[in-house]
Amino acid sequence: MIIDDHSRLLVGGELFYSDNACNFQKVLKDAIATYGIPDKLYVNNGCSYSNEQLSMICVSLGILLLHTKVRDGASKGKVERYEASREHPRKPLSREWLDDCFYNRITRKVRKDSTIAIDSICYDVPMQFISAKVNVRYLPDDMDSAYILYENKKFPIRRTDRNDNCHTKRSNLPAIDYSRAGGATNV
């Protein structure tokens, strides 16, 4: 549950079988889409609320992320939507912009077979990124929308089909001269 501390209005809430960062981010995103961007987000210190992804989301949105004192669970889930100097909450620039702000962000080095791993699952990436470090954006519950962000362009990634991957021709890899592999030979 997320409560606006000014009006005491319940601005977000949903029931889940587990309390995790992904589920909290869904609730926060829906609250912002409906009621606007808060100035502050006040949460407890649990791993669902104290993680790098939530910090990056708040920075993207211009929200000050505050954490409660340890063992102060009664005060979690508050947002300060109105300040004394504000008449209206800030609205997201667009739904697409809001979606982009909530993508998780990680950096991965692309392997020579043009794949990366996210949570122990392999994904194919465009061959132009072989051996490069790439910035990956994804929603943990929707990996079909995952992409590499490079020079403000989105390059989609897809789950690796290992059978297809082993038959892929990769033209940008250096050719190996096998005639020199065994050293000098006398003929």
* 45 is a domain residue: yes
> How many domains is the chain built from?
2
Structure confidence by residue, pLDDT tens digits, 100-131: 888 999 999 999 888 999 988 899 999 899 99
Contact assessment for residue 23 and residue 3, using Cβ atoms and an 8 Å cutoff:
no
117 in the same domain as 162: yes
Distance CA 89, CA 36 (A): 5
Q: Would strands 158-159 and 153-156 be described as parallel, antiparallel, or unpaired?
A: unpaired
Residues 33 and 111 in one domain: no
**Last residue in a domain, options 56, 75, 93:** 93
Residue 91 has a pLDDT of 82
The reply to whether 40 and 63 lie within a common domain is yes
Say if residue 22 is in the same domain as residue 62. Answer: yes
Residue 186 falls inside a structural domain: no
Distance CA 79, CA 137 (A): 26
pTM for this prediction: 0.68
CA distance 22 to 54: 9
Q: Are residues 9 and 58 in the same domain?
A: yes
CA distances from 31 to 37, 55, 147 (A): 8, 17, 25
DSSP string computed for 87-149:
SSPBPPS-HHHHHHHTSEEEEEEPPTTSEEEETTEEEE--GGGTT-EEEEEEETTEEEEEEEE
**Which of 133, 134, 164 is CA-nearest to residue 146?**
134
Q: Is residue 53, in this structure, part of any structural domain at all? A: yes
Range of the domain at 149: 103-166
Q: Kindly state whether residues 63 and 118 are assigned to the same domain.
A: no
pLDDT tens profile 136-148: 999 888 888 899 9
Find out whether 118 and 49 touch, Cβ atoms under 8 Å.
no
Handedness of CA 154, 155, 156, 157 (dihedral sign): negative
pLDDT averaged over 10-residue windows placed end to end, the chain, 187 residues: 78 85 90 88 82 90 85 58 58 86 91 89 91 90 89 90 69 51 51
